[in-house]
Amino acid sequence: MKRHLISLAVILALTACGKEPEPAKTAAVQTEGDRAILSEPDKADFLKTATVEKDPGSTLRLPGRLVWDEDRTVRIVPQVGGRVQKITVEIGSEVKAGQVLATLNSADFGQAQADARKALADQQVAKQALSASASCTRPASSPTRTGSRRRPKPRAPRPRRIAPAGAWGLGGASDGSYTLRSPLAGIVVERNLNPGLEFRPEQNSDPLFVVTDPTSLWLRIDASEADLAALKAGEKFSLQVKQYPNERFAGVIRHVGDFVDPTTRTIRVRGEVPNPDRRLKGGMFATALIELPPTQALLAPSAAVFLIGDQRYVFVEEATGRYILRPVQAGPERGGRIEILSGVKEGEKVLIEGNLHLIKFFKALPGQPMQAAK
């Protein structure tokens, strides 16, 4: 048995020695200078390309939020404290200019009225004293002793000054009740008081009522610096909201901010949106659509451009399985496409998938040491 095992081992060893060595495998990707060459071009399905083309025009989509038109909105805050006696409107009520919203019983207003009456009484007494003093003064043409001085003309005592807005301008009755009125016509969209509520101006920060005209809304847009050139006051746009997916609403840009937020790098843009049927609501999230005309700029998908160190590159297809690495200068990015200022020509094909796989085979780039791609 032992002899048979030894014989089998010898036969296997002889067989192994006679086996031919396997040929060395060719690298899947070879590099020649700034070129990447596939050893098997017919297996380049994992690489996808896109054509560099001139900007055909596009639609700029910017997120925004609908808010009240501040030119048609008033936030009502009493100037004096008091307790709510009566509320005459509800949220959603349509009001006219000057219409009563609520009545407060205000000790502060009663004191302001008393001070105003006291000031008027003092003024009346002062006028009577002035009239009496004037009738007792000697006429200017009467003879006087030489060297004597003319007696100064008497002046009325100065009444205590209280600005009219301190009492009469507040709007109230003689019994100390204080009436809140709407200064403009519109809809009551917010109410922050209840019957019996004690209101103190120094304690409450929210307005008691918000009245607005909802037939016009503002759209607050946060735009990036790259979009600034496409945004101008007076430019028209269309508005899209998810509540009405198949409809678009018209709007106009009214103001472009002069300040870039240092954290988000965005610019606040304000648009105006007519809302005659009141289908749009304040607080809705929306998307502003701005049509951009065609330009001479060259565009490619953003995925075609990658960064190594401080330089941007693309892979340009020379032929199937042959790709040349080129440095490029890139402009702003918008809507998944990036503007290429130099380095490629119109009609050339650039890699948009697999380019980061090819770059791994380069030990060093022409003219600079290889760095990790970001």
**Domain residue extents for the chain:** 29-57+296-369, 60-71+215-292, 78-126+158-206
Least confident of 135-139, 149-153, 154-158, 266-270: 154-158
Q: Tell me which of 1.10.486.10, 3.30.1280.10, 3.40.50.2300, 2.40.50.100 is the CATH number of domain 78-126+158-206.
A: 2.40.50.100
Neighbour count for residue 106 (Cβ, 10 Å): 24
CATH architecture of 60-71+215-292: Beta Barrel (2.40)
Q: Tell me which of 3.30.870.10, 1.10.3720.10, 2.40.420.20, 3.30.420.40 is the CATH number of domain 29-57+296-369.
A: 2.40.420.20
Residue 254 · residue 312 · CB < 8 Å:
no
Q: What is the tens place of the pLDDT at every residue in 34-91?
A: 888 988 887 778 889 999 999 988 888 999 999 999 999 999 988 777 888 889 999 9
pTM to 2 decimal places: 0.63
Which of 82, 74, 80 is closest to 207 using CA atoms? 74
In this prediction, residue 92 carries a pLDDT of: 92
Helices vs strands, H then E, count in the chain: 3, 26
Quote the tokens at residue 262.
């240092």
Residue 288 · residue 232 · CB < 8 Å:
no
Least confident of 4-13, 156-165, 179-188: 156-165
